[in-house]
Chain A
Protein backbone atom coordinates (compact mmCIF):
# COMPACT_ATOMS: atom_id res chain seq x y z
CA UNK A 1 0.00 0.00 0.00
CA UNK A 2 1.24 3.44 -0.90
CA UNK A 3 2.14 5.44 2.19
CA UNK A 4 1.89 8.94 0.73
CA UNK A 5 -0.09 9.16 -2.47
CA UNK A 6 -0.65 12.22 -4.56
CA UNK A 7 -2.65 12.80 -7.71
CA UNK A 8 -2.30 13.59 -10.49
CA UNK A 9 1.25 12.44 -11.27
CA UNK A 10 1.40 14.54 -14.44
CA UNK A 11 -0.46 17.72 -15.18
CA UNK A 12 -0.13 19.90 -18.25
CA UNK A 13 -2.21 23.04 -18.25
CA UNK A 14 -2.38 26.48 -19.77
CA UNK A 15 -1.40 29.73 -18.13
CA UNK A 16 -4.19 31.30 -16.17
CA UNK A 17 -5.91 28.06 -15.29
CA UNK A 18 -6.66 26.87 -11.76
CA UNK A 19 -5.58 23.38 -10.73
CA UNK A 20 -5.46 21.19 -7.65
CA UNK A 21 -3.15 18.44 -6.47
CA UNK A 22 -4.45 16.01 -3.90
CA UNK A 23 -2.47 14.17 -1.26
CA UNK A 24 -3.30 11.46 1.21
CA UNK A 25 -1.18 9.57 3.72
CA UNK A 26 -2.07 6.35 5.51
CA UNK A 27 0.82 6.35 7.96
CA UNK A 28 -1.05 7.93 10.84
CA UNK A 29 1.24 10.95 10.75
CA UNK A 30 0.06 14.24 12.13
CA UNK A 31 2.23 16.54 10.05
CA UNK A 32 2.03 16.99 6.28
CA UNK A 33 4.02 19.13 3.88
CA UNK A 34 4.16 20.46 0.38
CA UNK A 35 7.59 20.82 -1.20
CA UNK A 36 8.45 22.25 -4.61
CA UNK A 37 11.39 20.94 -6.63
CA UNK A 38 12.58 23.12 -9.48
CA UNK A 39 14.44 22.16 -12.63
CA UNK A 40 17.77 22.37 -10.79
CA UNK A 41 16.59 19.78 -8.27
CA UNK A 42 16.42 22.37 -5.50
CA UNK A 43 13.76 21.23 -3.04
CA UNK A 44 12.02 23.93 -1.03
CA UNK A 45 9.31 23.67 1.57
CA UNK A 46 6.11 25.54 0.81
CA UNK A 47 3.69 24.62 3.57
CA UNK A 48 3.43 22.45 6.62
CA UNK A 49 0.31 21.41 8.50
CA UNK A 50 0.09 19.76 11.89
CA UNK A 51 -3.26 18.20 12.77
CA UNK A 52 -4.99 20.30 10.12
CA UNK A 53 -3.41 23.50 11.40
CA UNK A 54 -1.07 25.54 9.22
CA UNK A 55 2.30 25.85 10.96
CA UNK A 56 4.69 26.76 8.17
CA UNK A 57 3.87 29.08 5.32
CA UNK A 58 6.95 30.03 3.36
CA UNK A 59 7.09 33.01 1.08
CA UNK A 60 4.73 31.53 -1.45
CA UNK A 61 2.42 33.58 -3.71
CA UNK A 62 -1.10 33.63 -2.36
CA UNK A 63 -2.20 31.96 -5.59
CA UNK A 64 -1.16 28.80 -3.76
CA UNK A 65 -3.68 27.71 -1.16
CA UNK A 66 -3.29 24.50 0.83
CA UNK A 67 -6.27 22.85 2.44
CA UNK A 68 -6.25 20.12 5.03
CA UNK A 69 -9.73 18.64 5.59
CA UNK A 70 -8.28 16.14 8.07
CA UNK A 71 -4.81 15.15 9.22
CA UNK A 72 -4.54 12.44 6.54
CA UNK A 73 -5.14 14.80 3.65
CA UNK A 74 -3.41 17.92 2.40
CA UNK A 75 -4.43 19.34 -0.95
CA UNK A 76 -2.80 22.13 -2.90
CA UNK A 77 -4.83 24.48 -5.04
CA UNK A 78 -3.12 26.84 -7.44
CA UNK A 79 -4.94 29.77 -9.02
CA UNK A 80 -3.99 31.66 -12.16
CA UNK A 81 -1.12 29.38 -13.06
CA UNK A 82 2.04 30.97 -14.41
CA UNK A 83 4.90 29.54 -16.46
CA UNK A 84 7.18 29.76 -13.43
CA UNK A 85 4.93 27.40 -11.51
CA UNK A 86 6.18 24.54 -13.66
CA UNK A 87 7.93 22.18 -11.26
CA UNK A 88 7.54 18.95 -9.39
CA UNK A 89 5.39 19.24 -6.28
CA UNK A 90 5.96 16.72 -3.51
CA UNK A 91 3.60 15.96 -0.72
CA UNK A 92 5.17 14.50 2.41
CA UNK A 93 4.32 13.55 5.96
CA UNK A 94 5.96 12.81 9.29
CA UNK A 95 5.20 12.43 12.94
CA UNK A 96 5.26 15.67 14.85
CA UNK A 97 8.18 17.98 14.20
CA UNK A 98 9.87 17.54 17.53
CA UNK A 99 13.48 18.59 18.06
CA UNK A 100 14.73 15.01 18.04
CA UNK A 101 14.12 14.87 14.34
CA UNK A 102 11.69 12.83 12.35
CA UNK A 103 11.87 11.03 9.05
CA UNK A 104 9.83 12.57 6.29
CA UNK A 105 8.00 10.27 3.91
CA UNK A 106 7.52 11.61 0.42
CA UNK A 107 4.95 10.97 -2.24
CA UNK A 108 6.04 10.23 -5.80
CA UNK A 109 5.57 13.80 -6.95
CA UNK A 110 3.25 15.66 -9.28
CA UNK A 111 4.88 16.99 -12.43
CA UNK A 112 3.20 20.28 -13.28
CA UNK A 113 3.87 21.85 -16.67
CA UNK A 114 2.33 25.21 -17.46
CA UNK A 115 2.25 26.11 -21.15
Chain B
Protein backbone atom coordinates (compact mmCIF):
# COMPACT_ATOMS: atom_id res chain seq x y z
CA UNK B 1 0.00 0.00 0.00
CA UNK B 2 1.11 3.56 -0.63
CA UNK B 3 2.72 5.68 2.02
CA UNK B 4 1.22 8.96 0.83
CA UNK B 5 -2.20 9.53 -0.65
CA UNK B 6 -3.42 12.83 -2.03
CA UNK B 7 -6.94 14.06 -1.90
CA UNK B 8 -8.72 15.02 -4.07
CA UNK B 9 -7.42 13.14 -7.08
CA UNK B 10 -8.56 16.00 -9.30
CA UNK B 11 -9.46 19.60 -8.61
CA UNK B 12 -10.74 22.23 -11.03
CA UNK B 13 -11.10 25.87 -9.97
CA UNK B 14 -11.30 29.33 -11.47
CA UNK B 15 -8.27 31.51 -11.79
CA UNK B 16 -7.79 33.67 -8.73
CA UNK B 17 -9.35 31.16 -6.34
CA UNK B 18 -7.40 29.25 -3.74
CA UNK B 19 -6.60 25.57 -4.20
CA UNK B 20 -6.17 23.16 -1.31
CA UNK B 21 -4.76 19.68 -1.65
CA UNK B 22 -4.36 17.16 1.13
CA UNK B 23 -1.96 14.33 1.77
CA UNK B 24 -2.22 11.52 4.27
CA UNK B 25 0.56 9.15 5.17
CA UNK B 26 0.92 6.04 7.27
CA UNK B 27 4.23 5.87 9.10
CA UNK B 28 6.17 8.34 11.23
CA UNK B 29 8.23 10.77 9.20
CA UNK B 30 10.95 13.33 9.76
CA UNK B 31 9.92 15.47 6.80
CA UNK B 32 7.36 15.74 4.04
CA UNK B 33 7.85 17.26 0.62
CA UNK B 34 5.58 18.59 -2.10
CA UNK B 35 6.41 18.40 -5.78
CA UNK B 36 4.75 19.73 -8.92
CA UNK B 37 4.64 17.99 -12.30
CA UNK B 38 3.60 19.87 -15.39
CA UNK B 39 2.19 17.80 -18.20
CA UNK B 40 4.93 15.93 -20.02
CA UNK B 41 7.64 17.12 -17.65
CA UNK B 42 9.58 15.90 -14.65
CA UNK B 43 8.75 16.64 -11.04
CA UNK B 44 9.91 19.88 -9.49
CA UNK B 45 10.43 20.32 -5.77
CA UNK B 46 8.20 22.95 -4.18
CA UNK B 47 8.68 22.83 -0.45
CA UNK B 48 9.94 20.64 2.39
CA UNK B 49 8.43 20.74 5.85
CA UNK B 50 10.09 19.02 8.79
CA UNK B 51 8.26 17.04 11.43
CA UNK B 52 8.86 19.72 14.06
CA UNK B 53 7.26 22.39 11.86
CA UNK B 54 3.53 23.00 11.66
CA UNK B 55 3.39 25.47 8.81
CA UNK B 56 5.65 26.75 6.10
CA UNK B 57 5.26 29.39 3.41
CA UNK B 58 6.89 29.92 0.06
CA UNK B 59 5.46 32.67 -2.09
CA UNK B 60 1.82 31.76 -2.80
CA UNK B 61 2.30 28.31 -1.29
CA UNK B 62 1.37 27.41 2.25
CA UNK B 63 2.03 23.95 3.61
CA UNK B 64 0.79 22.60 6.91
CA UNK B 65 1.75 19.42 8.68
CA UNK B 66 -0.19 17.65 11.41
CA UNK B 67 1.88 14.73 12.63
CA UNK B 68 -0.81 13.62 15.05
CA UNK B 69 -3.20 13.10 12.15
CA UNK B 70 -0.45 12.06 9.75
CA UNK B 71 -1.62 14.60 7.22
CA UNK B 72 -0.40 17.61 5.31
CA UNK B 73 -2.06 20.19 3.13
CA UNK B 74 -0.82 22.38 0.32
CA UNK B 75 -2.61 25.65 -0.27
CA UNK B 76 -2.03 27.67 -3.40
CA UNK B 77 -3.43 31.16 -3.08
CA UNK B 78 -4.59 33.40 -5.92
CA UNK B 79 -4.21 30.59 -8.43
CA UNK B 80 -3.00 31.22 -11.96
CA UNK B 81 -3.36 29.27 -15.17
CA UNK B 82 0.33 28.37 -14.90
CA UNK B 83 -0.43 26.50 -11.67
CA UNK B 84 -2.21 23.83 -13.72
CA UNK B 85 -0.23 20.69 -12.96
CA UNK B 86 -0.21 17.55 -10.84
CA UNK B 87 0.91 17.95 -7.25
CA UNK B 88 2.52 15.15 -5.28
CA UNK B 89 3.39 14.75 -1.66
CA UNK B 90 6.40 12.64 -0.82
CA UNK B 91 7.50 11.11 2.44
CA UNK B 92 10.71 9.30 3.35
CA UNK B 93 10.73 5.69 4.37
CA UNK B 94 13.80 4.09 5.81
CA UNK B 95 14.22 0.50 4.71
CA UNK B 96 17.94 -0.01 4.90
CA UNK B 97 18.43 3.25 3.06
CA UNK B 98 16.10 6.21 3.01
CA UNK B 99 13.82 6.46 0.00
CA UNK B 100 11.23 9.04 -0.94
CA UNK B 101 7.78 7.59 -1.55
CA UNK B 102 5.28 9.53 -3.62
CA UNK B 103 1.53 9.55 -3.58
CA UNK B 104 -0.56 9.38 -6.72
CA UNK B 105 -0.95 13.12 -6.99
CA UNK B 106 -3.72 15.68 -7.30
CA UNK B 107 -4.43 16.90 -10.80
CA UNK B 108 -5.11 20.65 -10.50
CA UNK B 109 -6.73 22.54 -13.36
CA UNK B 110 -7.00 26.31 -13.23
CA UNK B 111 -9.67 27.64 -15.56
CA UNK B 112 -9.15 31.15 -16.98
- Residue positions of A touching B, CB distance < 8 A: 4, 35, 40-45, 48, 50, 55-56, 90, 92, 97-101, 103-109
Q: Across the interface, do B31 and A101 meet the contact criterion of CB distance under 8 Å?
A: yes
Cβ contact within 8 Å between A97 and B97:
yes
Partner pick for B100 among A41, A104, A109, CB 8 A cutoff: A104
Q: Looking at A45, A55, A98, A101, which has the most chain B CB atoms within 10 Å of its CB?
A: A101
**B112 in the interface (beta carbon within 8 A):** no
Q: Which residues of B contact A40 (CB under 8 A)?
A: 104
Consensus secondary structure, chain B interface: strand
Q: Is B25's CB within 8 Å of the partner chain A? A: no
Are B105 and A48 in touch, CB under 8 angstroms?
no
B42 touches A106 (CB 8 A): yes
Q: Are A103 and B45 in contact, CB atoms less than 8 angstroms apart?
A: yes
Report the tally of A-B residue pairs with Cβ distances under 8 A.
69
Given known contacts A40-B104, A56-B96, what 20 new A-B pairs fall within 8 Å (CB)?
A41-B105, A42-B104, A43-B105, A44-B102, A45-B100, A50-B97, A55-B97, A56-B95, A90-B43, A97-B92, A99-B98, A100-B50, A101-B92, A103-B48, A104-B45, A104-B90, A105-B45, A106-B42, A107-B42, A108-B42
Across the interface, do A43 and B43 meet the contact criterion of CB distance under 8 Å?
A: yes
Question: How many angstroms between the C-alpha atoms of A43 and B37 in the bound complex?
Answer: 11
Q: Give chain A residues whose Cβ lies under 8 Å from the Cβ of B33.
A: 101, 103-104
Whether, in the assembled complex, B79 has its beta carbon less than 8 Å from a beta carbon of chain A, the answer is no
Q: Which residues of B contact A56 (CB under 8 A)?
A: 95-97, 99
- B30 CB within 8 Å of chain A: yes
Closest to B43 in A: A106
B43 touches A48 (CB 8 A): no
Counting CB contacts under 8 A, is B86 at the interface? yes
Separation in Å of the B1 CB from the closest CB of chain A? 12
Neighbour of B102 across the interface among A43, A48, A97, A109, CB < 8 A: A43
